[in-house]
């Protein structure tokens, strides 16, 4: 489903742990605002009061706190609240929405790496959020080693419930994002996340050039 909007665009930033999404979400928001756009920066899980409460349930506690299916349902419930309360109203008001993670994180983490299955994740998204999709999804890609080093340095060795999963899980997440981009090149673009922050922001802007003209 295409979300109703006056003139705004819905952009999601995706990728594995530590690739620089949150850093680039802030930088890209500034760059788009400097072009005169009214941008709402939001994130998942979270982005509305209800979804932020669910974020705590998802990211805190023991690794086995939820079954894979329960985890997928919680992400879908948080997303449904976020889409209804935050994303849709902003797009209807003609704003741009930049979202740090969205559906493709559930497809990669729960659907593929967590083995719930892509079709099941898409079904939950249809039920919860009417299948709403971004206009463009930019996936930051970094070698598994460099991403793990960045995340480790940032977290000081104390990752959250999902970030702390093993290297095999995170490699499966990264491969899933590559596969999604191959299967849906019109929406999903892979972006090289290596090098300095400014260079990465320029690559992201280049991947939005058709939407900015
Ligand atoms: N281009 C870059 N070069 C070097 N370090 C970077 C770069 N971009 C971000 N970092 C650093 O890497 C760490 C991870 O960045 P950030 O938190 O933005 O990643 P993320 O993709 O949002 O991670 P997560 O999904 O795990 O929250 C931070 O300490 C950040 O300062
Ligand atoms: C939206 C979404 C997120 N996750 C995971 C990915 C990360 O480990 C955390 C979010 O932490 P961040 O520092 O805000 O990136 O949650 C997931 O497994 N499934 C999802 O749908």
**Ligand 2 nearest atom to the CA of residue 75, by list position:** 21
**pTM (two decimals):** 0.97
Please tell me whether residue 189 adopts helix, strand or coil conformation: strand
Domain of residue 191 covers: 10-212
Question: Could you tell me if residue 5 is inside a domain?
Answer: no
Residue 4 lies in a domain: no
Judge whether 190 lies within some domain.
yes
CA 43–ligand 1 middle distance (angstroms): 15
Measured from the Cβ of residue 155, the count of other Cβ atoms closer than 10 Å reads 14
| Inside any domain, residue 117 | yes
User: Is residue 68 a part of any domain in this protein?
Assistant: yes
CATH code of the domain covering residue 184: 3.40.50.300
Q: Which residues are annotated as a binding site for ATP?
A: 15-22
Domain count, the chain: 1
Alpha-carbon gap, residue 104 to 122, rounded angstroms: 10
- pLDDT 10s per residue in the chain (213 long)? 667 676 789 999 999 999 999 999 999 999 999 999 999 999 999 999 999 999 999 999 999 999 999 999 999 999 999 999 999 999 999 999 999 999 999 999 999 999 999 999 999 999 999 999 999 999 999 999 999 999 999 988 899 999 999 999 999 999 999 999 999 999 999 999 999 999 999 999 999 999 998
Q: Is residue 146 part of a domain?
A: yes
Q: Ligand 2 centre and the CA of 15: distance in Å?
A: 10
Tell me which ligand sits closest to the C-alpha of residue 192.
Answer: 1
* Contact status, residue 57 vs residue 74, Cβ threshold 8 Å: yes
Would you say residue 103 lies in a domain?
A: yes
Contact 19, 147 (CB under 8 A): yes
- Point out the annotated binding site: 15-22
The answer, yes or no, to whether any atom of ligand 2 lies below 6 A from the CB of 105, is: yes
| 87 in any annotated domain | yes
75 CB less than 6 Å from ligand 2? yes
Helix (H) or strand (E) run with residue 14 in it: strand 10-14
């Amino acid at each position: 489903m295409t979300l109703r909007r006056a003139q705004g665009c819905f952009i999601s930033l995706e990728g594995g742990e530590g690739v620089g999404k949150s850093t680039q979400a802030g930088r890209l928001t500034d760059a788009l605002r400097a072009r005169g756009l009214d941008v709402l920066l939001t994130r998942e899980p979270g982005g509305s009061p209800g979804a932020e409460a669910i974020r705590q349930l998802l990211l805190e506690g023991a690794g086995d706190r939820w079954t894979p299916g329960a985890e997928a349902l919680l992400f879908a419930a948080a997303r449904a609240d976020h889409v209804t309360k935050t994303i849709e109203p902003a797009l209807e008001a003609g704003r741009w929405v930049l979202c740090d993670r969205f559906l493709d994180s559930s497809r990669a983490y729960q659907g593929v790496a967590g083995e719930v299955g892509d079709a099941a994740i898409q079904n939950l998204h249809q039920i919860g959020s009417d299948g709403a999709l971004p206009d463009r999804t930019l996936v930051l890609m970094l070698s598994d080693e460099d991403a793990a080093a960045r995340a480790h340095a940032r977290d000081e060795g104390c990752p959250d419930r999902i970030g702390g999963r093993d290297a095999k899980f995170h490699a499966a997440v990264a491969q899933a994002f590559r596969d999604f981009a191959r299967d849906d090149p019109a929406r999903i673009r892979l972006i090289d996340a290596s090098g300095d922050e400014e260079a990465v922001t320029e690559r992201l802007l280049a991947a939005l050039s058709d939407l900015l003209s």
